[in-house]
A and B are shown apart, each in its own frame.
Chain A
Amino acid sequence: MNIHDSIIAIVLIASLGFFASLGAREYQERLISRIGFFTMVLQTIAVLWAVMLWVINGANPIHMQEITLYATKGYSFIIDFYIDSVSVMYMSVGVFLTSLITRYSRYYLHLESGYKRFFNTILFFNIGYTVTVLAGNFETLFIGWEILGISSFLLVAFYHERYLPVRNAVKVFSIYRIGDVGILLAMWASHHLWHENITFFKLHNYTLVHEHLSGHSVIGIFISLCILVAAAAKSAQLPFSTWLPRAMEGPTPSSAIFYGSLSVHFGVFLLLRTEAFWQHQPSVRIIIGIIGLLTTLFAYPVSRVQSTVKTQIGYASIAQIGIMFIEIAMGLQTIVLIHFAGNAFLRTYQLLISPSIVSYKIRDMQYHFNPNAQSVEDRLPEKLRNTLYVLSLREFYVDKVLTILVFGIFKYVGKKLSFLSTANIAIVLPIVYGAALLLLLYQQSIPPMLSDYIPNMVAIFGLLLVMRSFVERKRPRLSLFLVIMNHLWIALGISFNESFDAMHLYLYLSGVILMGSLALVLLTLLKIKEQSYFDLNQYYGHIYEHPRLSFLFFISILGVMGFPITPTFIGEDVIFSHIHEHQILVAFAASTSYVLGGISLIRIYARLFLGNHVKNYHEVALKTS
């Protein structure tokens, strides 16, 4: 088996393991855990084999072009793989820790309801991890990235019958979604920069990169910053840090593997992966370094005031990742890789033994307690000390500021649009849409001066719809319908561009229409069954009585939000590539719609199906627990 085959084998094993685990029954604990562990052992062997071959062949970066999923003039969606020291390190640490965790969870989760779901999710995560780490271009990486996001949501909300895990899962999902848009925009801009789907391999061609960037330095910075946003979100750097401690809601091993070790280091990975692209742009390196430094300075005092063991580990880890960002900015790639592995192992272990802290520390106190122990901060003047303490306890209000800055504006606009009710939407939307379609047909007769604005306006209109959807509190179906409509508007807006291709539109909308209709039907079914518990004002927990409906609805909204299960995923990328370089506004509307639409959909799902079950004839936890 050559290196090429073994890479394919790694991906295949990960995927087959996941699908096999879906086939087991909930009560078949032994079978489920064996599938999980067996998958990971096989994958570890394949990884070891591939790494060995790679080293024997001189440890040079290798690019592999695999499958062309879709190709048309000027655009192709290709699955590529790429091996270098970064992917080798991440892959090795990944299979090592995931194997251990599956083994650990085999016993740890015994008799837990959701045993199967847990292993399904871990294996799903494993696919995402593998694909992301081995990806050879942005498109492939994005597939893995999306899977990571969804599996994260599922693991944070593992205890979906309680309110706090669900609320925090939605929060984590929202931040991830912002990160995703960074990648989407980076893909869009780099498409215009390279006029092809650039592979990571080619980024290492210094002359090529230099040639394209000269004269396009703004695009270069734009792409780099987009990547940085994605990296900061995933690695809990400022201003996104606060999701990490809140994500510690699942069973401890899942928190350990996701938020202690693997998932949280993906921002670092993304920067290392694209290093060849931005390393000659000093301004970008300075910004990366500053973000890392600020995060470190922020996370350090916050971790010192944490009085709960998991959040303390979380913030200490964020501080270390901040240092990794600084190291990256300084170009210390090898050190970063060692730092990553060490930090991942350390935090995993610390989280796994975190319950032991009680007996350990209590014993320690019994023998060594010193009530007058001083800490560094005691040397500060009182006023400064108290101020810093309160700020650290409140996490420097980062969470609040982020919520107001990012979501506050959208909510504000959305609320202004609340006059758009079901009735007038049903009447107004088709008319406006029809008018816009007419415009499209008679595009040639529009004065060129005007025609430049039309795509902008249509796309912004689409964005308004999704904002409206975002604040809808009463009618779930209206909220869902608005997200679907948003897709149609964005598509329409971009159709005004000359390179209009019906096939692309079809690709984009097929998934949305199909899955959107399915989702509407499912919601109608739910409404028939649960007349009095059907709005978005609170969490209803209908999954307790309607697990199948819930599952189908989840799949269908994944389709609507462009998750890689329908052609919409490719279509989304294709459509993005049609946005012209100068159409910043359209790009903004499309990407913001992407973020808000996703959050809006997950919000509908979470509020209707997850959280404390409204019918408490069985045991139901308090909202605070």
Chain B
Amino acid sequence: MNTTLIFDEDALLHRLHHYLPSQLPLKDFIHHNTLHAFQDIDFHKALQSAAEIFGYKTYLSMDEYRALYNENKISDDVLEHILTVHKGQTQVREWKERLLFGKYNEHRIQRIGQLRALWKNDYAINLEKSVHPILFRLVCSYLDQGISQWKFPAKSDGFLESIRSIERESIVGIFSSKRVKDLLFSPTLSLKQLLHILVEKEELFEQYIFDQQFLHPGWSGMVSTLEHHPTALFDARPITLKEYILVELLLEIDCIDMKKGDMWKPLSPQYSLPALFQEIESNDCYEVYTLWQEAFEWSYYDQVLKGLQYIPQKTEVHNQPILQAICCIDDRECSFRRYIEQYAPSSETYGVAGFFNLDIYFQPEHSKFPTKVCPAPLTPSVIIVESESKKRHENEAFFTKHSHGLFSGWIIAQTLGFWSALLLVKNIFFPGKHSAMVSSFLHMDRTGKLDIERKHTLSASDSVHGYSVEEMAERCLGLLSSIGLTHTFAPIIYCIGHGASSVNNTHYAGYDCGACSGRPGSVNARVAAMIANRSDVRALLAEKGIHIPASTVFIGALHDTTRDEIEYYDTDVLSSYHAELHRNNEKIFEQALHANAKERSRRFLFTNTEEDDHIVHEHVKLRSVSLFEPRPEWNHATNAVCIIGRRKSNKHIFLDRRSFLHSYDYSCDPDGTYLSNILKAVTPVCGGINLEYYFSRVDNSRFGAGSKLPHNVMGLIGVANGMDGDLRTGLPKQMINIHDPLRLLMIVEHYPDIVLNVIKKYPPTYEWYDNNWIHLVIIHPDTKELSLFRDGEYVPYQPISDSLRVVVHEKEKTRTIESSYENLSVYIVEE
């Protein structure tokens, strides 16, 4: 990474975009690897580099690791094993000594920021104090989607042009210095031109811009992301990172001009500064972190792997299950599925990425914009249009602009003001549905109609309306084959998407289905069921060898993971036979939801888990509508594992809602074609979720958004602290309190060599495993032998844990759940 002598503007902007946070506006919040920029190198090396270049904290602290060890959350056996593997048998004692008692200076000296610090040190100018507030206010007002009543006088040709037009026609300008005004209108305005004024040596230009932009990575990241995803804003605001940097440089020159006149010298450091991306040298402290982190991770993984090797004593064989449920792979559905199976022993559950293999936009009726409901990297091919739905947006007087007016505000204060006193009391003592709440069931109106079939091929818009029958069959085939549901169909098969409900939650999109681009999965589940119910589709499927009997129906449904409620779609067209079966199944789901709510409640303060599950469930529902509840649910917190395999080989382990579960039958897919598709979709989604949680947990102040309690909403696109703070990216503290920062362990049930071929085929997926951002273990379907993928090849793995606890009685299970607020260890459930 040499800095070439000639300053290359495009290369700089490209590199900046790569390193800046890439979080979309709040409404499209999707989990992703916070350190995606470093994903091309090994995980541990990347963490050390990120720490030394940018000053992030990338591991837990030494004290935290030691505390975990003392609490036995890092197992001594595993630690010794890790030390043996990494340092060799002879070094174990010495290294253990270092890990447990070594003294390390954990102070981080970051390379970034050293050049720009000279403004304060050498020039006694606090540039940030003058420049940041006005810069943030300008860009926030420009991008604002609907908070301000008097909008930024924006021009359609961009940020810089808008600023020029204001400056041209205004008595008081944004800039004060004559020189800066001239520069602003100069036709040759460029970064280089401005940088020559600020920095003497051209080879330092890039470092200067990096220093400058990483003082406010939130806004810079937002601008750079919007430059690449302009459609993420409803109210279009074209902007580029270059324009933004130009404005910042102009503001800086303006500020110095006003203090020093226009005869000041550019920055020229007297001593050499470390180049930003210069090679990082390994050091003891980071080696110790690495070992601790591995030991922490394997202390948990080891139990899971041990559990997977366990062979249950009783294996029930059912000829035809009474129901089958296809849920999302989401870790939150892990316990829900367990309870469905518990209350309906002859049922089968499946896990699949929650978009149900449908690459679609959804256009709600009355809506001005289509909504993407498939994974972020996919480009939908069709639009599903809704019709005959009810209006579902209520007006809320407290958000109207009138309350901010003079006379109207005066009236409102004396009328609505007293009404709000009553609302306050109501919302604090008797929380209930609120017009400002986000409810997953509002995403789609269950009484409306969805148009899934393509009527005409030509359309004015980019996407076409509805699928052709062939396309439907192809999507359906992909869905069923990948999860191994190709024979023995139950009379009713449920496709269950999921969504979340909350109030006063700016990060609501992050709680919905990640595979549906942060939207509830109701449309996808319903469309998947509609497709599978069509006789023309089934006829095409039969040609491919999948025979769905006429006595089988699919029902789409949505599981609200916050409230533990479920909504079914199109049940009014069921035959009386199916309607009867469905009524019975509803009771099973009802029971499962109660039990699920009870299990979740052990992590909630002020909810007594020991009470009857109906009562606990009511408490849990209340959380979703309580204004004062910053944690309506724990979302993906504590996630650590992803298992791809048959349900019957992992059904017996209690995983404490820590695992993503994808159904996959190796025997239906000998050459791994479907596995390849699964890994392509699941690796970035689960890996992204897992690493975002990891980083937001280890450095909540820099990677995370900090506490959400003081957050202020900026222009509807982000949150910041106070009036003049930078946008905060990542997860708020309230989402990660209970999260243990472990990388994801991907476990695949198949023959090792087949999996190796599959992952090597697609480089972007392979990178995750090759650079150890996700651990990969293959479990042999016949022998249950474990192969750990490391440095491009397999090494056998033998679990270290003693045999796991076996829980037989339901009472004992309940007691275990009620027993603790903390993570539970893995145990075996025997029926």
List of A residues within 8 angstroms of B715 by Cβ = 307-308
Asked if B234 and A621 make an inter-chain contact with CB atoms under 8 angstroms apart, the answer reads no
| CA gap between A100 and B26 in the complex, in Å | 29
List of B residues within 8 angstroms of A97 by Cβ = 424
Asked if B410 and A320 make an inter-chain contact with CB atoms under 8 angstroms apart, the answer reads yes
Asked if B141 and A371 make an inter-chain contact with CB atoms under 8 angstroms apart, the answer reads no
**A-binding segment of B16-24, B195-203, B348-356, B698-706:** B698-706
Nearest CB of B to A474, in Å: 13
B90 within 8 A of A: no
B506 within 8 A of A: yes
Partner of A616, one of B107, B508, B713: B107
Interface 1/0s, chain B 102-144, versus A by CB < 8 A?
0001111000000000000000000010001010011011001
Nearest CB of B to A320, in Å: 6
Identify the closest chain B residue to A159 (Cβ): B710
| CA gap between A253 and B628 in the complex, in Å | 9
Identify the closest chain B residue to A114 (Cβ): B707
**B-binding segment of A184-192, A295-303, A475-483:** A295-303
List of B residues within 8 angstroms of A110 by Cβ = 605, 630-631
List of A residues within 8 angstroms of B725 by Cβ = 164, 624-625
List of B residues within 8 angstroms of A100 by Cβ = 424-425, 428
Partner of A387, one of B165, B172, B425: B172
Interface centre among A252, A312, A362, A625 (most CB of B within 10 A): A625
B393 within 8 A of A: yes
Given the known interface contacts A296-B406, A304-B148, A394-B134, the answer about A355 and B722 at a Cβ–Cβ threshold of 8 Å is no
Partner of B724, one of A158, A164, A348: A164
| CA gap between A19 and B398 in the complex, in Å | 37
Given the known interface contacts A305-B148, A345-B421, A625-B706, the answer about A111 and B712 at a Cβ–Cβ threshold of 8 Å is no
Nearest CB of B to A287, in Å: 21
Interface 1/0s, chain A 88-125, versus B by CB < 8 A?
00000000110010011111111110000000000000
Nearest CB of A to B516, in Å: 16
Asked if A367 and B628 make an inter-chain contact with CB atoms under 8 angstroms apart, the answer reads no
List of A residues within 8 angstroms of B27 by Cβ = 358, 362
B627 within 8 A of A: yes
List of A residues within 8 angstroms of B567 by Cβ = none
Given the known interface contacts A304-B148, A393-B141, the answer about A112 and B107 at a Cβ–Cβ threshold of 8 Å is no
Asked if B138 and A393 make an inter-chain contact with CB atoms under 8 angstroms apart, the answer reads yes
Count, chain A residues at interface, CB 8 A: 102
Nearest CB of B to A337, in Å: 11
Asked if A309 and B234 make an inter-chain contact with CB atoms under 8 angstroms apart, the answer reads no
A611 within 8 A of B: no
A249 within 8 A of B: yes
List of B residues within 8 angstroms of A358 by Cβ = 26-27, 506, 508, 713, 716
Given the known interface contacts A107-B628, A361-B146, the answer about A623 and B235 at a Cβ–Cβ threshold of 8 Å is no
**B-binding segment of A55-63, A195-203, A377-385, A413-421:** A377-385
A615 within 8 A of B: yes
Partner of A310, one of B409, B503, B629, B723: B723
Identify the closest chain A residue to B104 (Cβ): A617
List of A residues within 8 angstroms of B169 by Cβ = 382-383, 386
Interface positions of B from 701 to 752, Cβ below 8 Å from A: 701-702, 706-716, 720-726, 728, 734, 737
B801 within 8 A of A: no
**A-binding segment of B366-374, B642-650, B660-668:** B366-374
List of A residues within 8 angstroms of B171 by Cβ = 383, 387
Nearest CB of B to A391, in Å: 6
| CA gap between A615 and B57 in the complex, in Å | 13
| CA gap between A237 and B141 in the complex, in Å | 25
Nearest CB of B to A401, in Å: 13
Asked if A307 and B148 make an inter-chain contact with CB atoms under 8 angstroms apart, the answer reads yes
| CA gap between A252 and B4 in the complex, in Å | 48
Given the known interface contacts A248-B722, A620-B701, A624-B725, the answer about A366 and B234 at a Cβ–Cβ threshold of 8 Å is yes
Asked if B147 and A306 make an inter-chain contact with CB atoms under 8 angstroms apart, the answer reads yes
List of A residues within 8 angstroms of B429 by Cβ = 103
B577 within 8 A of A: no
**A-binding segment of B309-317, B334-342, B411-419, B776-784:** B411-419
Given the known interface contacts A349-B420, A617-B61, the answer about A362 and B709 at a Cβ–Cβ threshold of 8 Å is no
A389 within 8 A of B: yes
List of A residues within 8 angstroms of B414 by Cβ = 338-339, 342
Asked if B714 and A320 make an inter-chain contact with CB atoms under 8 angstroms apart, the answer reads no
Asked if A625 and B504 make an inter-chain contact with CB atoms under 8 angstroms apart, the answer reads no
Asked if A246 and B722 make an inter-chain contact with CB atoms under 8 angstroms apart, the answer reads yes
Asked if A389 and B134 make an inter-chain contact with CB atoms under 8 angstroms apart, the answer reads no
Asked if B149 and A339 make an inter-chain contact with CB atoms under 8 angstroms apart, the answer reads no
Nearest CB of B to A228, in Å: 22
B145 within 8 A of A: yes
Interface 1/0s, chain A 301-341, versus B by CB < 8 A?
10111111111110010011001000000000000001101
| CA gap between A387 and B153 in the complex, in Å | 11
A245 within 8 A of B: yes
A205 within 8 A of B: no
List of A residues within 8 angstroms of B148 by Cβ = 304-307, 312
Asked if A349 and B398 make an inter-chain contact with CB atoms under 8 angstroms apart, the answer reads yes
List of B residues within 8 angstroms of A249 by Cβ = 710, 721-722
A429 within 8 A of B: no
List of A residues within 8 angstroms of B369 by Cβ = 366, 369
Asked if A616 and B108 make an inter-chain contact with CB atoms under 8 angstroms apart, the answer reads yes
List of B residues within 8 angstroms of A212 by Cβ = none
Partner of B721, one of A104, A300, A625: A625
| CA gap between A6 and B3 in the complex, in Å | 76
List of A residues within 8 angstroms of B506 by Cβ = 355, 358
Asked if B418 and A345 make an inter-chain contact with CB atoms under 8 angstroms apart, the answer reads yes
Given the known interface contacts A164-B721, A312-B147, A616-B107, the answer about A366 and B367 at a Cβ–Cβ threshold of 8 Å is yes
Nearest CB of A to B487, in Å: 42
List of B residues within 8 angstroms of A162 by Cβ = 706, 721
Partner of A104, one of B628, B712, B724: B628
B271 within 8 A of A: no
Given the known interface contacts A112-B709, A342-B414, A625-B725, the answer about A369 and B393 at a Cβ–Cβ threshold of 8 Å is no
Interface positions of B from 130 to 183, Cβ below 8 Å from A: 132, 134, 137-138, 140-141, 144-153, 165-166, 169-174
Nearest CB of A to B669, in Å: 40
Asked if B722 and A164 make an inter-chain contact with CB atoms under 8 angstroms apart, the answer reads yes
Interface centre among B234, B605, B723 (most CB of A within 10 A): B723
| CA gap between A438 and B26 in the complex, in Å | 71
Given the known interface contacts A356-B436, A364-B393, the answer about A248 and B61 at a Cβ–Cβ threshold of 8 Å is no
Given the known interface contacts A356-B437, A382-B169, the answer about A342 and B627 at a Cβ–Cβ threshold of 8 Å is no
| CA gap between A338 and B707 in the complex, in Å | 36
Given the known interface contacts A110-B605, A358-B716, the answer about A159 and B153 at a Cβ–Cβ threshold of 8 Å is no
Partner of B424, one of A348, A620, A621: A348
Given the known interface contacts A108-B628, A360-B396, A621-B702, the answer about A393 and B137 at a Cβ–Cβ threshold of 8 Å is yes
B83 within 8 A of A: no
Asked if B393 and A621 make an inter-chain contact with CB atoms under 8 angstroms apart, the answer reads no
Asked if A316 and B403 make an inter-chain contact with CB atoms under 8 angstroms apart, the answer reads yes
Give me 17 A-to-B residue pairs in the complex whose CB atoms sit less than 8 angstroms apart, sorted by A's number.
A100-B428, A104-B627, A111-B734, A159-B707, A164-B724, A253-B628, A319-B406, A342-B413, A349-B424, A354-B713, A365-B234, A366-B234, A386-B170, A389-B152, A620-B702, A624-B216, A625-B728
What are the 6 tightest A-B residue pairs by CB atom distance, in nearest-first order? Answer: A342-B417, A356-B436, A617-B106, A349-B420, A386-B170, A251-B709
Q: Chain A residues in contact with chain B, CB under 8 A?
A: 29, 96-97, 100, 103-112, 158-159, 162, 164-165, 168, 245-246, 248-253, 255, 296, 300-301, 303-313, 316, 319-320, 323, 338-339, 341-346, 348-350, 352-369, 371, 375-377, 382-383, 385-387, 389-394, 615-625
Q: Chain B residues in contact with chain A, CB under 8 A?
A: 26-27, 55, 57, 61, 105-108, 128, 132, 134, 137-138, 140-141, 144-153, 165-166, 169-174, 215-218, 234-236, 364, 366-369, 371, 393, 396, 398-399, 403-406, 409-410, 412-418, 420-421, 423-425, 428-429, 434-438, 503-506, 508, 605-606, 626-631, 698-702, 706-716, 720-726, 728, 734, 737
